[in-house]
Structure formats: C-alpha cells, structure tokens
Amino acid sequence: MTLLRLSNHRAVAGIVAPAVFLAALILVALLSPWIAPYDPLAQGPDKLAGLGSGHLLGTDQFGRDILSRLIYGARADLVVSVGATAAAAVAGTTVGLVGGFFHGFVSGLSMRSMEVVLAFPPIVLALLVVALFGPGTLTLILTMGILFMPNFARITYGQVLSVRQRDFVTASRGLGAGPGWLLFRVVLPNVIGPILVQVSLTLAAAMLLESGLSYLGLGVVPPTPSWGSMIAEAQNLGLDNPGFLIISCLVVIVTVLAFSLLGDALDRHLDPRRRAAGRVAAPTAAPRRTAGGAV
C-alpha cells in the first residue's frame, strides 16, 4: 500500500509540475506588456551588455533587452504552437472519427488522404510551404496544422474502431440517435484520453518546429521576437555574449521538455493499462520466527 500511494503521488507530481510551469509561461506571455521591463524592439546604446548591467539578462547586438525579448518571444511561440495544435486536433480528430465510424469508401478516403501527408518529411514540407507563401504567423499555423493532423486522425481512427461496436453505442443507435450525435456525444467522449495526450506531445513538436523555422529565418517575421530567431542571432555573436545563446536555448529546451513530460504523465494517468502496470504491489513482509522456529 505504501508503494501504491507513493506511485500515485509521483503520478500526480508528474502532471502538476510541468502543468504549473506551462501555466506560468502562458501567464507571462499574456501579461508581457506589463511584465517586460523594456520595449523588446527598442534599441539602446548598451550593446552586448552582460548579465546585470542595468539589464537582468543583458542586451543583444542592437542594445535590445534580452529578457523583454524572451518574454515577448514566448507569446509568439505559444500562439503558433497552440494555434497549429488546435487546428490539427480539430481537423484530425474529425477525420479520424468519420473514418473509423463509417465503413467502405469514406473510411478509405479519409485515411489514405492522411497517408499522403505522412509521405512528406515534416521539415521539408514546412520549408516548401513557407518558402512559397512567405513566412508569417498564419502561414506557420496552417502549415503545421496540416503536418500534425495525420497523428490525430490515426489515433482517433484506431480508438473509434475499438469503440464503435460496444454496447453503449449500439444502444444509442437503437434509441434513434443520428450519426452526428453518435460521433460527438457518444463515441468522442470515450476516445478523448489519447487525444489529450497527443495534444500535449504535438505542442512540444510544434514549439520545436517553429523554433527551427524561425532559426532558419522562415518563421515569425522580424523584428517580432521569437525564440528560434533569437538563437540564430545569439549564435552569430559567437563568444561576444555566450550567455545570450545559452539562455535562449535553455528556454526552448525546458518548454519542450515540459510539454513532453506532461504528455507522458497524462498517458500514464489516462491509460488504464499503463496505470495498472505502474501499480507495483507492496512486497510481503517475511514472517517473523520465534527463537524456537515457530512462525
């Protein structure tokens, strides 16, 4: 029982810790106009200033405050990541629901179309679309939404296949429920767990992909700050301000890691098989024996 309680505490902590960090990050992004100590676009005379020189994290090559740019960069990165994940989740889940619930031509068409998207390497397709239509927030959201949509579709499709023939679905159909009611009010609530896990993992992947595209100059349009473009700027500075590069990389790494840990914790908590596997029974204490050998 002690080990079971300890396992439950660890499971809760695994969800709470990254969730608290991400909630704080979202709050900072929302309150960035009031939290940032300086205008992120304002240039100053103190170029490449070090830590604590009137600027908590120093300044870049244009004299712009690094802390303010990181705070505003969180807003840009979160908008793209959340927007792309929301678009992928809505579209992919709908395709998976329809494809898994209906048979024949509808099922084949929906899943074959997802396989066409999966045939393209994500970074190559993202580079192609951004290069054709130009960088920008809306372009990134639509591009990454298309890229991540097949993941939601395949997960939802597999879950719906295992649910559609269960008794509660058959009973609802027998009571006269239409396809729309069955899909979104009966089937969807029973397959939502893996979808929520995929949302967290997709947020991490979208954050990483957006940072990579911004690093290549194909993401958020400058001078709007984003973490990927800040890493590219810091790398060009070399040894002039190494703290700039380290801090910019750490922000991306910690945020992506938090999304990934949250997704893994949700998977353990929502998946009954993994939850049961994690419940290790407490070892039975060895029977005590008396001096005479009796138990």
- Per residue in 196-229, pLDDT (tens digit) is 889 988 999 999 888 888 888 777 877 888 888 8
Identity of the amino acid at 114: M
59 backbone dihedrals φ, ψ, rounded to 5°: -130, 165
| Res. 5: pLDDT tops 70 | no
Helices in 102-136 by DSSP H: which ranges?
A: 105-118, 122-133
- What is the average pLDDT across 244-251? 88
* Top-confidence residue, 205 or 45: 205
**What pLDDT, on a 0 to 100 scale, did the predictor assign at position 171?**
82
Distance CA 136, CA 124 (A): 17
**What pLDDT, on a 0 to 100 scale, did the predictor assign at position 11?**
55
Distance CA 102, CA 33 (A): 49
- What is the average pLDDT across 45-53? 73
- What is the average pLDDT across 29-56? 81
* Top-confidence residue, 34 or 274: 34
Contact assessment for residue 219 and residue 213, using Cβ atoms and an 8 Å cutoff? yes
What residue segments make up the domains of the chain, in order of their start? 2-277
58: left (phi over 0), alpha (psi -120 to 50) or beta: left
Which CATH code for domain 2-277?
A: 1.10.3720.10
pTM of the model: 0.82
Residue with token string 């005590």: 288
Confidence of residue 9 (pLDDT cuts 50, 70, 90): low
Contact assessment for residue 48 and residue 58, using Cβ atoms and an 8 Å cutoff? yes
**What pLDDT, on a 0 to 100 scale, did the predictor assign at position 284?**
43
Q: Which of 12-16, 63-67, 90-94, 207-211 has the lowest mean pLDDT?
A: 12-16
7 backbone dihedrals φ, ψ, rounded to 5°: -65, -40
Cis-peptide into 33, omega within 30 deg: no
